[in-house]
C-alpha cells in the first residue's frame, strides 16, 4: 500500500483503516476468534491503521487480543464520549470522564499508549478548553500521541484551534466525519477547514452503512434485522441514487464496493477511509479493490449523480447539534413573540 501522512503528525497510515464496530458481538460478528483473524488478515495485507471506540461493546478487548505481539507496527486509534452506562458522568468530554475512560481503554486494549485518541461526538455541555486541557495532559504523560475529533462541525473545529493557540494547548490533529457517495456534505466546509489546519481525515461510513454494498436494491426484499441501526435503507431517495451508482460501477467495470471505497479516498483532504467488515469475505472483497483509482470521467459522472457538497438523505448516526434538536434554542418565547 501507498502510505499517507496523518495530517501534520508525521505518522504514516494506510489509505484503508480497519474499523471494529462490527466486532461487537451483539450487532456484528458473534465469534471473537473470527474477528481476531480478520484483524490479522488486514494487517498482513498492509493495513496499519486500526480504529475502535470504548462504546463499541467488546471491540476494544478483541482488538487488544488481536494486536498481541504486533502492537508496535500498528497505528491504534480509539474514541471517547459516548455513554458507557447510566451514570451521567460516564460520557462526554469532561476532564473527569476522559481521565477515567482513557485508563479503561488502555486496559482493554492491553497497551501503554494510544496513537490517536478521539472525541467521538461533540460535547456542548463541556468547555472545549477543559477537554483540550485534559487531552494535553494525556499527551504530556505519554499515554496518547495525538488527539482528534469525530463529526465535529467546521465552526467548532475553528474554535478548538483558536483555543489551542490562545491557551497553548494540544491541537486536534484529526477529524473523523461520515463521507460516502451518498453523503458529501463535508466537502462544503468541514474538509476545507481540515485542510486549512493541516488535519488528517479518517472517514467512516464509506459504504453508506451498507447501502453501497450492492446488496440493497430497489424493489428487492431487505434484511431489516438491524432496522434500528440502518433505517436509511428504506429511504427511497437514497435507494434511487444507489441504482444509478450500481449502473455507473458496472459501466466502469468494477463492483459498487470498489467504486465507493475508491471515491472516499480520492479527495485530497481524506487520509484514510474506514473499512467495517463483519466477515472475512467482506474484508476480502474490499481488499481486492485497494488499488482502484477512479479516472476523471467516472468522478465527473459521480458529480452529476450526487453534486459535490450535498447529502442524499441523512445517516442514522449523523450528529445533530443542540440548535437543531432543542426547540427552545430555535423558538422565541411566547412573551418575546408577543412583544415583537
Closest alpha carbon to 11 in 49, 50, 63: 49
Q: Is the Cβ–Cβ distance between 109 and 144 less than 8 Å?
A: no
For the chain, the C-alpha Rg in angstroms (whole number) is 20
With cell 467488546, the residue in question is 58
Handedness of CA 210, 215, 221, 225 (dihedral sign): negative
Angle between helices 59-66 and 95-109 in degrees, nearest 10: 40
What cell does 72 get?
508496535
Q: Is the Cβ–Cβ distance between 84 and 53 less than 8 Å?
A: no
Q: Which residues are catalytic?
A: 56
Query: Which ranges in 117-231 belong to alpha helices (H)?
Result: 128-141, 154-167, 190-196
Give the single-character DSSP code of 6.
Answer: -
Q: Is the Cβ–Cβ distance between 205 and 178 less than 8 Å?
A: yes
C-alpha to C-alpha distance for 39 and 227, rounded to whole angstroms:
27
C-alpha to C-alpha distance for 319 and 211, rounded to whole angstroms:
19
C-alpha to C-alpha distance for 10 and 198, rounded to whole angstroms:
11
What cell does 290 get?
485497494
As to burial, measured by CB atoms within 10 angstroms (0-12 exposed, 13-18 middle, 19+ buried), residue 202 is buried
Amino acid at each position: 500500500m501507498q502510505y499517507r501522512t496523518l495530517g501534520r503528525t508525521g505518522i504514516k497510515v494506510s489509505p484503508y483503516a480497519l474499523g471494529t464496530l462490527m466486532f461487537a458481538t451483539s450487532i456484528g460478528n458473534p465469534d471473537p476468534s473470527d474477528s481476531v483473524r480478520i484483524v490479522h488478515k488486514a494487517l498482513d495485507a498492509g493495513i496499519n491503521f486500526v480504529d475502535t471506540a470504548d462504546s463499541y461493546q467488546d471491540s476494544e478487548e478483541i482488538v487488544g487480543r488481536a494486536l498481541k505481539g504486533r502492537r508496535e507496527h500498528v497505528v491504534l486509534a480509539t474514541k471517547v464520549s459516548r455513554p458507557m452506562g447510566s451514570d451521567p458522568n460516564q460520557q462526554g468530554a469532561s476532564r473527569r470522564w476522559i481521565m477515567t475512560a482513557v485508563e479503561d481503554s488502555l486496559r482493554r486494549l492491553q497497551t501503554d499508549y494510544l496513537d490517536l485518541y478521539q472525541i467521538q461526538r461533540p460535547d456542548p455541555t463541556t468547555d472545549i478548553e477543559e477537554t483540550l486541557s485534559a487531552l494535553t495532559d494525556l499527551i504530556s504523560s505519554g499515554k496518547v500521541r495525538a488527539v482528534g475529533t469525530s463529526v465535529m462541525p467546521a465552526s467548532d473545529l475553528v474554535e478548538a484551534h483558536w483555543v489551542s493557540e490562545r491557551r497553548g494547548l494540544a491541537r486536534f490533529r484529526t477529524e473523523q466525519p461520515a463521507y460516502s457517495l451518498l453523503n458529501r456534505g463535508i466537502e462544503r466546509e468541514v474538509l476545507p477547514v481540515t485542510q486549512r489546519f493541516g488535519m488528517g481525515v479518517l472517514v467512516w461510513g464509506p459504504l453508506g452503512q451498507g447501502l453501497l454494498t450492492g446488496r440493497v436494491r430497489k424493489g428487492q426484499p431487505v434484511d431489516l434485522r438491524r432496522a434500528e441501526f440502518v433505517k436509511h435503507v428504506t429511504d427511497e431517495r437514497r435507494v434511487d441514487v444507489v441504482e444509478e451508482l450500481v449502473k455507473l460501477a458496472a459501466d466502469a467495470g468494477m463492483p459498487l464496493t470498489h467504486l465507493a471505497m475508491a471515491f472516499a479516498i480520492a479527495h485530497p483532504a481524506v487520509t484514510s477511509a474506514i473499512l467495517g467488515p463483519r466477515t472475512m469475505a467482506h474484508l476480502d472483497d474490499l481488499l481486492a479493490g485497494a488499488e482502484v483509482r477512479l479516472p476523471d470521467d467516472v468522478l465527473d459522472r459521480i458529480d452529476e449523480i450526487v453534486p459535490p457538497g450535498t447529502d442524499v438523505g441523512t445517516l442514522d448516526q449523523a450528529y445533530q447539534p443542540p440548535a437543531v434538536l432543542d426547540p427552545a434554542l430555535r423558538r422565541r418565547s411566547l412573551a418575546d413573540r408577543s412583544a415583537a
